Each structure stands twice: as structure tokens, then as C-alpha cells.
Amino acid sequence: MHSTYVVTGTLVDGSTIALDELIPMPAQRVRLTVEPIESEGERLLQTVLAAIRARQTAHGHQPPTRAEIDQYLEERASWD
């Protein structure tokens, strides 16, 4: 028996869709039905930030460490 998943995502370009959540399936061919969703209107700041962080994580972004930030601030303080 096949499982069916309904998820939302963003059409990045004509051939790439970024899903809002992971689907528990191995890499394989799938069938998609694409339908536009009307704008969500105003969203909570926490929701927007969570989406941004999820995209950054998906692209392998590594935020600076506390030590790196402290080092940068020390260097910047010497500019004055």
C-alpha cells in the first residue's frame, strides 16, 4: 500500500519545488499535482524567521559561533 502525503511548498523555478516539510520517503520518482495557494497575508515574525532558518539549514548555512562573533566585535571596536 502506498502512502499519500499532502504538503505545501514554494515553486522556486519551473522545475524546482522547495517543500515546507520533509516527507518520510526515499529518493524516487513521484507524481505531483501543483495548485497555486493564495497569499497568506500577514504572518507572525516567528513563522517568517522559522521559514528563513529552515531554508538556510537546507542550503547548508552554518551561523557564526559565539567565539567568531566575539572576535569580530573585538576587531570592530579597534576601528575607532
DSSP 9: E
Q: Which helix (H) or strand (E) holds 74?
A: helix 66-77
**pLDDT, the chain, mean:** 89
Give the distance, in angstroms, between the CA of residue 5 and the centroid of all CA atoms in the same chain.
Answer: 19
**Domain presence at residue 66:** yes
**Domain presence at residue 4:** no
How far is residue 80's CA from residue 63's CA, in Å, rounded to a whole number? Answer: 26
How far is residue 10's CA from residue 40's CA, in Å, rounded to a whole number? Answer: 13
DSSP 39: -
**Domain presence at residue 41:** yes
**Domain presence at residue 2:** no
Q: Per-residue pLDDT tens for 32-69?
A: 888 888 876 778 899 899 999 999 999 999 999 999 99
Residues of the domain holding 16: 9-77
